[in-house]
Amino acid sequence: MSVGYVLKEGFAGLGRARLAALTSMFSLFIAVLLIGVLFRLGYNAYEVTQMLNQQVEVEVFLDDMNSTDTQLMEERLMENSGITGLTYISKDSAAQVFQQEFGTGGEAIAELDFLPASFRLSISEEYSVAQVDSLVQEINTYEGVNEVRFNMALLQMIESRTETLFIVGGAIGIFILLVAMILVFNTIRLTIYAKRDLIKAMKLVGATNAFIRRPFLVEGVLQGIIAGGVAAGVIYSLFHWAIPYFMPQIGVLSWPFGRWYYLISGVVVLAIFLGWWGSRWAARKFIKDMGVSS
């Protein structure tokens, strides 16, 4: 097998059936662009829900207790795996918070010293509403705990929105991927059909099907690189320049996993995979079934 020949033919193939190759690259481009944008938006939406989730705090109001009992209570609370951190707010601090929130008008009441000491608990992001609820029930049974409060409605809303986001986003993603696969398969089949004379001539002189397929695979990968490269450029420009410029309020959202190149390289790799796979699928089927006579 001549690697040089296969590569040369693969590169030349792009120029030989330009329209078919362009159609194929355009389908690949649209498919990976949509998937890339969807992934970025989905990731950012997920990030927002996680951020909101982190902001939900559980407040544990305590009966009057001495510092030793408070220390024991803190240790007992930290034994729960769902609690990632806690802050103790003494009666004095509670009065200060009250004053800050109510301004000077609250001073008279604050002096009454009726506010209880409390713990503010940070709950693990992975905890569901039901788990938080059961944790709250448990803490409520602790001796020295007067009341436990948390914003269950907000947590429930975040949880249900996250679930919807995953289901809808996942379904759209799978749908786009399926459509892209069929589209890529068909357009690459058209590219191969446009070269049927070449394939017939190759079969006639004794080229094996595997040999005939190889330049098409190279061409599919090249189409993937070009389509993926352009899609990556568009996604980068969109989220790095266009959105921060036109919608600065949401422009601060980060790239998935903290770096721009994860998504960008993911898009290119996906396009290459689709190009390779589409060519392989179409070439296998089409070349095998094709006769050599006119």
Partner 1 sequence: MSNEVIQMTDVSVAYNGTPVLDSINFSLDVGEFCYVIGRTGAGKSSFLKLIYKDVNPTKGLVKVADFDLSNLADKKIPYLRRRLGVVFQDFQLLPDRNVFDNVAFALRVTGQKKRFIKQRVIEVLGLVGLSHKRKAMPDDLSGGEKQRVVIARALANEPRLLLADEPTGNLDPEASASIMELLHQINNRGMSVLMVTHDYEVIRKFPNRTVQIENGSLQDIKVL
Site residues, partner 1 (CB under 8 A) = 1-2, 5, 16, 197-198, 200-209, 211-212, 288, 291-294
Q: Considering the complex, state which of residue 205 and residue 252 has its C-beta at the smaller distance from partner 1.
A: 205
Strand pairing partners for 119?
60, 88
Tokens of 74: 């803190």
Q: What span, in angstroms and rounded, lies between the C-alpha atoms of 134 and 85? A: 18
Closest approach, Cβ 31 to partner 1, in A, equals 30
The DSSP line for 66-115 is -HHHHHHHHHHHHTSTTEEEEEEE-HHHHHHHHHHHHGGGGHHHHTT--P
Q: Considering the complex, state which of residue 189 and residue 213 has its C-beta at the smaller distance from partner 1.
A: 213
Q: Considering the complex, state which of residue 9 and residue 279 has its C-beta at the smaller distance from partner 1.
A: 9
Closest approach, Cβ 208 to partner 1, in A, equals 5
**Going edge to edge, which strands form the sheet with 118-123?**
83-89, 118-123, 57-62, 145-149
Q: Considering the complex, state which of residue 161 and residue 203 has its C-beta at the smaller distance from partner 1.
A: 203
Closest approach, Cβ 214 to partner 1, in A, equals 10
Closest approach, Cβ 8 to partner 1, in A, equals 10
Of 287, 216, 277, 291, the residue nearest 16 (C-alpha): 216
Where is 286: in which H helix or E strand?
helix 260-289
Q: Considering the complex, state which of residue 19 and residue 178 has its C-beta at the smaller distance from partner 1.
A: 19
Closest approach, Cβ 289 to partner 1, in A, equals 11
